[in-house]
Amino acid sequence: MSKLDSKIPEGNLEQKWTKYKSSVALVNPSNKRNLEIIVVGSGLAGASAAASLAELGYKVKVFCYQDSARRAHSIAAQGGINAAKNYQNDGDSVYRLFYDTVKGGDYRAREANVYRLAEVSNNIIDQCVAQGVPLAREYGGMLSNRSFGGTQVQRTFYAAGQTGQQLLLGAYSALQRQIGLGTVDMFTRHEMLDIVKIDDKARGIIARDMVTGKLERHFGHAVLLCTGGYGNVFYLSTNAMGCNATAAWKAHKKGAFFGNPCFTQIHPTCVPVSGDHQSKLTLMSESLRNDGRIWVPKKQGDTRKGNEIPEEERDYYLERRYPAFGNLVPRDVASRAAKERCDEGYGVGASKMAVFLDFKAAIERFGKTQAKKMSIDNPSPQQIKEFGKQVIEEKYGNLFAMYEQITGENPYEVPMRIYPAVHYTMGGLWVDYNLMTTVQGLYCLGEANFSDHGANRLGASALMQGLADGYFVIPYTIGAYLSKEIAVKPIPTTHEAFAATEKEVQERIDKLFAIKGTKSVDHFHKKLGKIMWDKCGMAREEKGLREAIQEIRALREEFWKDLRVTGKPNEMNPELEKACRVADFLELGELMCMDALNRSESCGGHFRVESQTEEGEAKRNDDNFSYVATWENKGNNTYELHKEDLIFDVVHPSQRSYK
């Protein structure tokens, strides 16, 4: 247990962060100039951290696998970002945002971290507006808010359905400014393939130049991993094609413990799978549940089109089961409810694995209000529909267009078909209050770490956490470590540790090419994804998890015997890039199943069939599982479990209810 010191400051919850900030060690400006920081990943967490640290005077190097920092997958976040501004005067507060987040996470997050997150949420909005991020506004010129799942206040700030894009471009502009000022060196089309440790401290990375294929050594006094989640273990997810776990996994194998790997968020509203060719799944923002109503036919196996099914033959199952929150229940609850209906034979569409998300009522409601605004007394149904469509288009236009592109159906006219898909991973590298992993000098920010969201993340909280970590947490907490490093001169990359690590990486690459098998990388990735989705997806049980572990082991063995990587190592080679990533997914997948097997309770997104209430809701077991399951890699795919007990001083865990 001594290995896990969460370093949560003493004192009242409300004062921990304030006191911490006034007592944490500082690094003076002349010393900052001599300290080098490596940031891997350029999404919200990485870009905001890199820009903020460079502004403070540190020398920063940033790495991303895309051709520009602006392309990191934070860009795809649609709905919004939460903050406790209480601009709507609807009773919001830092405490409420904190409470909703802890409850939404089904009481599996650290109180102190979540409270800090809620506290800095307001600074994020201020910062973004100052940067020129064009968030949505009301006619009076003030910022607009919308609702999101799992809350009863309107605290979500947004920019149409492109909030992630606008926030990332804000952080990216701050980063580009520092690049222009010469304080940040940017390495695009570079992928980190290992961590370099010297005397048990992280001191650099080995990165592959993806254009030339050359391996490079880079030194840093500290290394920040801001590399996102590992949803692509499932092959099909809402992640970008390149999202991967390699940086985090390599760090894990070098001593960083992995926290709650089985905590995966399955997002309820995604465009359903259309065929075997499917390469990724597209999210339809949760914000759509503000105005859309989710339903299935009351009759099993109903083959009629959505519009042909009369009102009284529709089952608005979320409104029926959860009258208090209705269509805005948290994601885990909504996903399971959709799966339950489809498994029972009420699903719609060709595959029968979909439910309807219907905007007919909203179009009518908005249309009528709009007609009133325009002083049209007796609007025709046609006018109402037209006006309503205009309002919907302004709110969700890009999402509706996206849906039509993918499915060939017009969602203004027919209800959308949606189904849950893997979206976000709450698990990740274990970090302490400073965001440091169990490796000295190695930090982890954003989705890549395990903290803050417990067993289920609420909508519009990922952007909040990424930017909180990068803008407002790491600039303070990194001082606690770097203030002790000021005497350390930059270590030349000729150091034996760099040479040895580079050799390891080179040998791994050579080994992949040496297999000369017959099956492509995608072949193995798809197989792994299917095992994970079937047995470690929305419902998990002991038997299936045990099978999955065996199947993944067999698949991994086959991978190392029969993989084919075409081309050469020293060239631009996407097959090699994928092979490196899938090799890691094949190990991480097994650990996810082991973690899911260990946690025989249900909580949040983790649903163990054996642990449910009579009504089929997730049943927690606080007596035995109120801890962070933290796994240490012992080599050869063996792991040791360490537990960080979760202590709730302020919030009292109760059975989560959204009824």
Partner 1 sequence: MSHGNMNLTLKIWRQNSGSEPGQLVTYPVKDISPDMSFLEMFDVLNEQLVAKNESPIVFDHDCREGICGMCSMVINGRAHGPKTGITTCQLHMRSFKDGDTIVVEPWRAQAFPVIKDLTVDRSSFERIQAKGGFISVNTGTAQDANCLPIPKDDADASFNAAACIGCGACVATCKNASAMLFVAAKVSQFALLPQGKVEATTRVKNMVAQMDAEGFGSCTNTSACEVECPKGISLENIARMNREYLVANCVD
Cα angle for residues 472, 476, 477 (degrees, 5° grid)? 110
Q: State the Cα–Cα distance between residues 518 and 477, nearest whole angstrom.
A: 49
By the rule CB under 8 A, 540 interacts with partner 1: no
Residues 567 to 606: which contact partner 1 by CB under 8 A? 567, 571-572, 574-575
* Contacting range for partner 1; rule: CB under 8 A; set: 176-184, 227-235, 338-346, 551-559: 176-184
**In this chain, which stretch among 13-21, 100-108, 175-183, 327-335 interacts with partner 1, using CB under 8 A?**
175-183
Please, which of residues 329-388 interact with partner 1 by CB under 8 A?
350-351
3-state secondary structure of 126: helix
Please state, in angstroms and rounded to a whole number, the distance separating the CA atoms of residues 187 and 190. 6
Site for partner 1 (CB under 8 A): which residue of 38, 159, 223, 296?
159
**Candidate list 137, 214, 320, 561; residue touching partner 1; CB under 8 A:** 137
Distance of CA 90 to the CA centre of its chain: 28
The nearer residue to partner 1, 77 or 256, going by C-beta atoms, is 77
Q: Tell me how far, at minimum, the Cβ of 569 lies from partner 1, in Å.
A: 13
Question: What is the number of alpha carbons within 13 Å of residue 603 lying toward its C-beta?
Answer: 31
Closer CB to partner 1, 1 or 130, in the complex:
130
Q: Which two structure tokens, joined as six digits, stand for 539?
A: 């419902």
Inter-CA distances, 502 with 133, 211, 498, 517, 567, Å: 41, 18, 6, 25, 21
Which strands make up the sheet holding 314-315, listed edge to edge?
264-270, 416-425, 355-358, 293-297, 314-315
156 binds partner 1 (CB under 8 A): no
In the complex, minimum distance from the CB of residue 618 to partner 1, in angstroms, rounded to a whole number: 30
Q: Does 539 bind partner 1 (CB under 8 A)?
A: no
Q: Between residues 195 and 528, which has the closer beta carbon with respect to partner 1?
A: 528
**Residues 533, 544: contact at Cβ < 8 Å?**
no
Nearest to partner 1 of 51, 597 (CB atom): 51
CA distance 529 to 280: 12
Window contacting partner 1 (CB under 8 A); options: 179-187, 251-259, 485-493, 625-633: 179-187
Smallest distance, partner 1 to C-beta of residue 426, A = 21
C-alpha–C-alpha distance, residues 401 and 392, integer Å:
12
Q: Other C-beta atoms within 10 Å of 519: how many? A: 15
| 26 interacts with partner 1 by CB under 8 A | no
Interface with partner 1, residue 237, by CB under 8 A:
no
Among 8, 376, 401, 555, binds partner 1 (CB under 8 A): 401
- As a whole number of angstroms, the distance between CA 299 and CA 384 comes to 31
What sign has the CA pseudo-torsion 258, 53, 62, 497? negative
Three-point CA angle 37, 451, 650, nearest 5°:
130
Among 15, 25, 33, 241, binds partner 1 (CB under 8 A): 241
CB of 327 to partner 1, least distance (A): 23
Q: Is 165 in the site for partner 1 (CB under 8 A)?
A: yes
Q: Does 408 bind partner 1 (CB under 8 A)?
A: yes
Residue ranges in 497-536 that form contacts with partner 1 under rule CB under 8 A = 520, 522
DSSP letters of 272-287? PP-STT-----B--GG
Q: Which of residues 474-493 bind partner 1 (CB under 8 A)?
A: 475
Whose Cβ is closer to partner 1: residue 209's or residue 547's?
209
CB nearer to partner 1: give 534 or 645: 534
- What does the block give as tokens for 311? 């009102």
- Is 87 a binding residue for partner 1 by CB under 8 A? The answer is yes
- Which DSSP letter does residue 420 get? E
Which CB atom, from 125 or from 505, has the smaller least distance to partner 1? 125
Choose the stretch contacting partner 1; rule: CB under 8 A; options: 261-269, 321-329, 359-367, 403-411.
403-411
HEC-encoded secondary structure of 49-64: HHHHHHHHCCEEEEEC
CB 478 within 8 A of CB 223: no
Closest to 288 (Cα-Cα) out of 76, 125, 74, 80: 80
Binding-site residue total for partner 1 (CB under 8 A)? 83
Kindly tell me which residue out of 279, 375, 494, 638 binds partner 1, with binding defined by CB under 8 A.
279
- Interaction of residue 73 with partner 1, rule CB under 8 A: yes
Q: Which of 16, 85, 197, 293 binds partner 1 (CB under 8 A)?
A: 85
Residues from 203 through 232 that contact partner 1 (CB under 8 A):
211
Q: What share of the chain is helix, strand, coil (3-state, %, to 5)?
A: 40, 15, 40
Does 75 bind partner 1 (CB under 8 A)? Our answer is yes
Q: How many helices (H) and strands (E) does the chain have?
A: 18, 19
Of the two residues 280 and 508, which places its CB atom closer to partner 1 in the complex?
A: 280
Most distant pair of Cα atoms in the chain: their distance: 82
Among 12, 15, 307, 405, binds partner 1 (CB under 8 A): 405
Closest CA to 76 of 377, 387, 402, 312: 402
Whichever of 349 and 653 has its CB closer to partner 1, that residue is 349
Please identify which residue in 8, 13, 24, 143 interacts with partner 1, judged by CB under 8 A: 143
How far apart (Å, rounded) are the C-alpha atoms in residues 628 and 453? Answer: 12
Neighbours of 503 (CB within 10 A): 12
For partner 1, the binding residues in 33-72 under the rule CB under 8 A are 48, 51-52, 55, 66-72
| Residues 619-658, interacting with partner 1 (CB under 8 A) | none
Q: Binders of partner 1 among 417-476, rule CB under 8 A?
A: 471-472, 475
